[in-house]
Amino acid sequence: MKLERRHAVLLLAVALWNVVTFGNFAKNLYSAYESGEERATGYWVAHTVLIVVNVAIAAVLGSLGWRALRSTSRE
């Protein structure tokens, strides 16, 4: 499969969207934790894992998008 420039831009946009939205989610989650919000430990663990996984997905998509963008600019 050959990725075109528009695919690369889409991958980069989705990666950026994940970083922005889950960065905001992490900030809000940390604020709730710091304010002493009463939640079960599983809540904090599950949401932290969700944030880490989505940032990792963003890193993979960003890497693929960046490589695709560089390869399309060389052609």
pLDDT digits (tens, 9 = 90+) for 57-69: 999 999 999 999 9
Q: How confident is the model at residue 41, as a pLDDT?
A: 95
- What's the pLDDT at 73? 78
Domain that holds residue 35: 5-74
What whole-number distance in Å separates Cα of residue 60 and Cα of residue 54?
Answer: 10
DSSP H stretches of helix in the chain:
5-34, 41-74
What is the number of structural domains in the chain? 1
Distance separating alpha carbons of residues 4 and 54, to the nearest angstrom: 24
- On the question of pLDDT at 75 being above 90, the answer is no
Interval 2-42: pLDDT, tens: 889 999 999 999 999 999 999 999 999 999 999 999 999 99
The band of 72, judged by pLDDT with boundaries at 50, 70 and 90, is confident
